[in-house]
Structure 1
Amino acid sequence: MSRRTALSIALALCAGSLVALTATCGGVYVENDGETVVLGNRYVHRTWSKAAFGTTEIVDERTGLRLGASDDFTLELADASSISSRDLTVTDVRVAQVPHDGRAVTFVLALAAPSPLGGAPTPLPGVAIERTYTLWADVAGFQVDTILALPGAYTDYTLDAVAVPGAIAAAHHFNAGYDWRGSDSFYDWQPTAAPFNGSHAGQDHRVTTTGANLDVTAQWLSLDTDGDLATTSDPRVFQVLQRVNYDSSHAAYDGAVGRVHVDMADDLVYLGPFEGDIHLDNPLPGPVRARFVEPGETVRLERVFTGFGIDADDEAWQHFRYLARHAWSKWRVGDVVFNSNGVDANRISTGAKDDMDLAETVRQAAIAARIGIETFVLDDGWQAASGDWCPDSPDCPEPRKATTGFPDRFPDSEFSAVRGVLAANGGMRLGLWMSPMHFNPASHAYQGNPTWACTPIGDGLVLYNTADPDSSSNEAGLGTWDPSAIGPDGVLIDHIESRIRRAIDVYGARYFKFDFLAWVDCAGGADAYEYREEFVAMVDRVIADHPDVTIQIDETNDYRLFPFESVARGPSWYANGSPRPNEALHNLWIHAPYVPGATLGQGAFARAGQGWSADYLGAVMLGSHVTFFTDLTRFSEAEIDAAARWVGLYKKYRTRFAMMSFPLLDDPLPGDNWTGLQWWNAGAQRGALAVYRQDAADDRRVVALRGVRGDRSFLLRDAETGEAFGTFSAAQLRAGITVTLPQRNSARVLLIDRV
């Protein structure tokens, strides 16, 4: 075979149906010998059988870890029957090139009937399932996607499984809901309507369960392969479930096989914002809910990332590298943001809407530019009415204008004047708050399409909202849509998407904060699972077409998209109000190293002038999705200067501060101890370290760093002054360095570089 012919075959195999041979493209190879398929890179490879589909082997090339056969997935139906991946056979294998040196292998699977002659099973007509495994050249792990076309009512489904006998499992369950779980107490959220206190009551933001046999609510499963929790240098296998933190999101290990699955028996109903006071668990021994697939329908199941670490610290690094290089679009990680929520004295509003108009935009933007803010987000006051999502202006007046007497907030309905203000103040990007799944009953969208409301909850909220249009969140609108509903203007979800796209194309928005998300059951329409999936699919379409647009999900309540269904798409707004420094640090520390701090939005300088120095507040700010959430005109000149100095420091080194971080020392929640965060690029062996002396009596601590490899030396420099802190060997950093802070409630920020 000539070289040109071989190259042509290889290129064809990179995108198309894979019949035979081997294709290596961009560091990822695919092999098909007719009976098995292999997908691999220099770190890992995975082999599948085609006749009775399933994994036959996974190998971590770096450690020599070799895993045996497992069923990749299992489906359990309401009639108590079950289908394993081994019950299906491969009818086609498709290979696609994906951005950044990745390859996606899709197995088209059909149910198989046993051969009467004892040979290979015979595929039955029709596609039942498509499984897509994506691997990139620079990550030790596989992204796993499932499309289900087999009709049925599914009460439990395993999304991926790995055979790791003799391990110890750690299942990490993540809670959002700063509104319910204020971080000032481990038991801050206690639903008041006992005994309905559910599985999340009293929990911190991350809860870890360990054992040799477990099946619990969790979204991250870590398998310690040597079965000894006291060691951290042995290989790790982990699975991350990109699904909301419903009780039904499970991680399981039975002593031989680890898996992530969805167990519908744990779900009854989720009550949105009312969950802060009441949570209803399924009281029956079996499931009362199911995931339905109708004939002719396809359902996209939740994504999983199955990864491999050479040790405990490499586990989180591999997942962060997957997020940062592949899962995330081009949203601006490390962006510095202002949100106008705090500009609210009810000057031109009556409830939750802020008081932003063009004049106030001019005032706030001038200070924002001095601080160095890059994205300027208008909170809920910008819109005339949720559902129409047009600027409050002469062409789109607020429905209550005649009764409130409030003037139009903006002079035009395309935000031309606002964009001019932002352009004149450093070229800040425009961001907008939206509640895309809710509406104001006075909106034109609802008035022209009343069938778009979700029955019965939406109809009830319309009556409530109409009776009291002015107070609290009623001012923006509490009506609830049914995403699958059809009205005179078409399908509701299409209307919502068109308004988001209009905001991008016409208003110039490049950042959205999506709020008021609750997945509910609509009679005759979408159920709670379909509701969430319709929203997520819409978000994915928008991101695909506009990868530079940031989608932030308000995760201050549970059961929205947190953790990884949200984290895999962009930042969250995590903490309403004004967290104290120990609370803000706790939010970052407890999620590390699994949830990148750069995705957790909380108020920067939120406690300015309340007893903590501006320098301390600036150091606390570094680990989060930096967001100023207060009225900037309340800052003193000295506070503005300090904020500008710390924002400048953050922007100068944001490639470091936006990295994954390791939690060091002690949990900062008590407020009277030392704590630390280490942002670390494990590949480049560089990063930053922040050490915080809270209200602690001792003035020094020994701080041991994580993820430091090899025997090279490292230079540590003060991030503010550039002065050398010292040169240390890798062994010294691992053993610990002494940091001294003479003042209580102070911090030291150091840069770490290999020399």
Structure 2
Amino acid sequence: MISYDGTDHLFQFTTCGMSYCFALKEGFPLHLYWGTAIKNYKGSRSVIPGPRSFAPYADPKKRYFSPDTLPFEYPGYGTGDFRNPAYQIQLKNGSTVTDLHYESHRIYKGKKRLKGLPATYVMDDQEADSLDLTLVDTITDLRVVLTYTLFRDYPVITRSACFENHGCQPLRILRAFSMALDFSDDRFDLINFYGNHNNERQFARHPLSMVRTVIDSARGASSPQHDPFFILARPGTDEKSGSAYGFSLVYSGNFSAQIEVDQYHTTRATLGINPFDFSWKLDPGSSFQTPEVVMAYSSKGLGSLSQTYHQLYRERLARGQFRDRLRPILINNWEATYFKLSEEKLLAIARVAARVGIELFVLDDGWFGHRDNDRSSLGDWIVDRRKLPHGLDWLSQQVHQLGLGFGLWFEPEMVSPDSTLYRTHPDWCLHVPGRTRSLVRNQLVLDLSRADVRNYLFQALCNVLSNANINYIKWDMNRHMTEIGSALLPADRQRETAHRYMLGLYELLEKLTTTYPEVLFESCSSGGGRFDPGMLYYMPQTWTSDNTDAVCRLKIQYGTSFIYPAIAMGAHVSASPNHQVGRVTSLAIRGHVAMSGNFGYELDLAELSEDEEKIIRRQIAFYKQIRPIVQFGRFYRIENPFTGNTAAWCFVNSTRTEAIGFFFIVLTDPSRTMHCFQFRGLDPNALYKNIATGDVFGGDELMYSGLTVPDVKGDFRSFVWRIQKISK
């Protein structure tokens, strides 16, 4: 619940073992506490230090009350706080000094929708309490409404800010982070997730130091380089114990996370839209809404923090018919055919897919325009009759007759210079007059800030979806933004283009997913280049990485698991040698790694040997047995592939009656080290049977003593245990 003590001007949030507190002092909301639940916070620790030399102050009688030392909930710029500000406003006279003070507040049940933006939600108003805290700058009559939501069933607070110009002159927003938080010390490790194409969400951890650390993207997408998520963990915090604070931005465009340790060893964390190359003209009577930040707390280690995000994003971020459904096992034809596809080849793959138990056939790139390579046809969403002479409807019917669903790849946000669309509308792409239009993968980015572009795309996709029986769409985005400009925006609004693009994309996705609720959408951006909560709001699963090598995927999926649930992670078995890195691995390890996510295949099924087909049939049958646990169970990380030669994790269902454990050894250890696998999350007082062997062990023994990993020679080995609770 959220409570307000009018005597001490104290706001206290308490839920699920967590409390968050701030108070109004001299009209400023100042942060007091965030951590393990406190029944009734009474201000035991002062947040206002004594006077500091050279610290600015407004009142000579209150020199101790300096903006440079106060723990603000939403700090500004120009009045004495030299740390990183949460917002910055430029006035008509060119100055950038504003001073927000408390005006009013409102506490209410439920959670508001954010206009034009994805966000977490509630199904019933009783699931959450919210606070709107209104701050005002009296000179400009700028009002900023800070919105906090406290979830009843999760140790989570969401935050966002809405800027409202109630004055008579235009203002310009130069910076508008969604949240800021001041901790009273700097005893933290920063955990973040970096990478590149084919190497997304690599794990990094290091102690904070006396610098400002910036984690960001200015690429027009959340990017594979950095995820819009970070953790501040107390030193020594591990998977099972210690305090950890998570910060996740529900946004798919340019973002910035900034963590600053100041001269007094306090820590300020901010997260929101990247202020680089951004501004927003705020006319009188208009408003600007920032994206939502989801802040989660755990007193029980990193594993518990991840489980909070998994459950919240699975149940109160993802939406639609597929939110609570088991996801289908699919076959994607891309690595089997690339652009050289034909009806005969596709149906040959589909027939084997049906025979081995696959549930969904996905036709990837190359089916439209005259796309024989990546140099043409994006934007021309018309079937290529040379390759598919009978059309998509006929092909989808053939696939459905085999008992499979039918899926299709699109890259709607892009246009090829060699396309009818570009020749007809060369101004529809992002561009700056007089500047070269840079190409990436021989393509340009359509300007989704324009309504005419969005209307064209909606109609073009509807023409395809309404004329064939399509069950699934893979929505790709294979380049980042350059020459970010819009032909329709005036000069003083050009720096709004990147954010207006995201608002346009969200509007298009809202319209499409509402019009076709029976279609399962999967997000992709050269793999996991736009794997973020904003996309999960519209598309409940994402292609995790173009790199399908099992060994590389151990790290990629391990890093991804810190915030995103397994049901959201597309994971496929591909050919060996692997097409991305050339590594040769067994079908066993490829299968076990892919089973740890949203399972599928991406290879030429029609070229399988008899033995390979039998193995794949067994893998699919096994995954169907464990799929409910993997997709909806609780996930535990056990061995970290970033720190050793092994990786391990397990999934446990909600009733703790069934679990599946995976253990991986990358390279042979010549010392023949004996490995042990220890389950987590079981009922210590229950008995569990190993389904494969019939052996029975106590839950306590399986967790604290563990199972011996078989001593088998060779690189790239994997082992799996499935256990079920039995009555005594």
> Normalising by structure 1, what TM-score?
0.71
Residue 435 (structure 1) shift: 1.6
Q: Which amino acid in structure 1 is aligned with residue 344 of structure 2?
A: A
Deviations 1:330-351 (A, max 9, x none): 445643222221243xxxxxxx
Matched, 1:687 2:659: yes
Are residues 253 and 231 of structure 1, via their aligned partners in 2, closer, same or farther at CA, if it must alter by over 3 Å? farther
Conserved? CA contact 1:221–1:251, under 8 Å: no
Residue of structure 2 equivalent to 1:284: none
Are residues 730 and 650 of structure 1, via their aligned partners in 2, closer, same or farther at CA, if it must alter by over 3 Å? same
Match runs of 1:385-424 below 5 Å: 385-393=377-385, 407=386, 409-412=388-391, 415-424=392-401
Question: Within 2, Cα distance between the matches of 1:419 and 1:578?
Answer: 27
Residue 305 (structure 1) shift: 0.8
Question: Within 1, Cα distance between the matches of 2:149 and 2:389?
Answer: 47
Question: Within 1, Cα distance between the matches of 2:396 and 2:23?
Answer: 57
Residue 327 (structure 1) shift: 0.9
Matched, 1:552 2:553: no
Instruction: State which of 198, 204, 208 in structure 2 corresponds to 1:207.
Output: 204
Match runs of 1:374-385 below 5 Å: 374-384=359-369, 385=377
Residue 604 (structure 1) shift: 0.7
Matched, 1:366 2:346: no
Residue of structure 2 equivalent to 1:527: 497
Residue of structure 2 equivalent to 1:433: 409
Q: Which amino acid in structure 2 is aligned with residue 599 of structure 1?
A: A
- The SS at the match of 2:280 is strand
Deviations 1:35-69 (A, max 9, x none): 77766545445567689574766676767796978
Residue of structure 2 equivalent to 1:18: none
Question: Within 2, Cα distance between the matches of 1:132 and 1:504?
Answer: 38
- The SS at the match of 1:381 is coil
Residue 733 (structure 1) shift: 1.3
Question: Within 2, Cα distance between the matches of 1:458 and 1:491?
Answer: 23
Q: Which amino acid in structure 1 is aligned with residue 178 of structure 2?
A: L
Question: Within 2, Cα distance between the matches of 1:48 and 1:506?
Answer: 56
Gaps of 5+ in 2: 48-70, 75-85, 112-121, 216-227, 370-376, 490-495
Are residues 252 and 61 of structure 1, via their aligned partners in 2, closer, same or farther at CA, if it must alter by over 3 Å? same
Conserved? CA contact 2:592–2:720, under 8 Å: yes
Deviations 1:471-500 (A, max 9, x none): xx55xxx23322234xxxx62123223434
- The SS at the match of 1:527 is helix
Percent identity, please: 13
Match runs of 1:331-730 below 5 Å: 331=322, 334-344=327-337, 354-384=339-369, 385-393=377-385, 407=386, 409-412=388-391, 415-428=392-405, 430-441=406-417, 443-456=419-432, 460=436, 474=442, 478-485=443-450, 491-507=452-468, 508-520=470-482, 521-524=484-487, 525=489, 527-543=497-513, 546=516, 549-556=519-526, 560-566=529-535, 569-576=539-546, 578-579=548-549, 581-607=550-576, 612-658=585-631, 659=633, 661-667=635-641, 673-680=645-652, 684=656, 687-697=659-669, 701-703=674-676, 705=678, 708=681, 711-713=684-686, 715=688, 717-718=690-691, 721=692, 723-730=693-700
Question: Within 2, Cα distance between the matches of 1:310 and 1:245?
Answer: 31
Q: Which amino acid in structure 2 is aligned with residue 392 of structure 1?
A: D
Matched, 1:89 2:103: yes
Deviations 1:6-30 (A, max 9, x none): xxxxxxxxxxxxxxxxxxxxxxx56
Residue 523 (structure 1) shift: 4.9
Higher alpha-carbon deviation: 741-750 or 565-574: 565-574
Conserved? CA contact 2:362–2:409, under 8 Å: yes
Conserved? CA contact 2:648–2:662, under 8 Å: yes
Question: Within 2, Cα distance between the matches of 1:215 and 1:307?
Answer: 22
Conserved? CA contact 2:328–2:360, under 8 Å: yes
Residue of structure 2 equivalent to 1:111: 136
Deviations 1:274-329 (A, max 9, x none): xxxxxxxxxxxxxxx23324315544423211112131121111111111111112
| Aligned residues: CA RMSD | 4.1
Are residues 111 and 543 of structure 1, via their aligned partners in 2, closer, same or farther at CA, if it must alter by over 3 Å? farther
Match runs of 1:117-128 below 5 Å: 128=143
Question: Within 1, Cα distance between the matches of 2:510 and 2:348?
Answer: 35
Residue 96 (structure 1) shift: 4.0
Q: Which amino acid in structure 2 is aligned with residue 111 of structure 1?
A: V
Conserved? CA contact 2:409–2:475, under 8 Å: yes
Match runs of 1:212-231 below 5 Å: 215-218=212-215, 219-224=228-233, 229=237
Are residues 56 and 166 of structure 1, via their aligned partners in 2, closer, same or farther at CA, if it must alter by over 3 Å? closer
Deviations 1:142-186 (A, max 9, x none): 23333334464444444224454346323333235334x4x9xxx
Residue of structure 1 equivalent to 2:299: 310
Matched, 1:143 2:138: no
Matched, 1:292 2:280: yes
- The SS at the match of 2:295 is strand
- Count of residue correspondences: 625
Residue 442 (structure 1) shift: 5.3
Residue of structure 1 equivalent to 2:721: 750
Q: Which amino acid in structure 2 is aligned with residue 747 of structure 1?
A: S
Question: Within 2, Cα distance between the matches of 1:688 and 1:328?
Answer: 25
Are residues 62 and 221 of structure 1, via their aligned partners in 2, closer, same or farther at CA, if it must alter by over 3 Å? same
Higher alpha-carbon deviation: 101-110 or 61-70: 61-70
Residue 244 (structure 1) shift: 5.4
Higher alpha-carbon deviation: 617-626 or 530-539: 530-539
Gaps of 5+ in 1: 1-28, 115-123, 184-203, 268-288, 345-352, 394-406, 466-472
Conserved? CA contact 1:169–1:253, under 8 Å: no
Residue of structure 2 equivalent to 1:102: 127
Q: Which amino acid in structure 2 is aligned with residue 376 of structure 1?
A: F
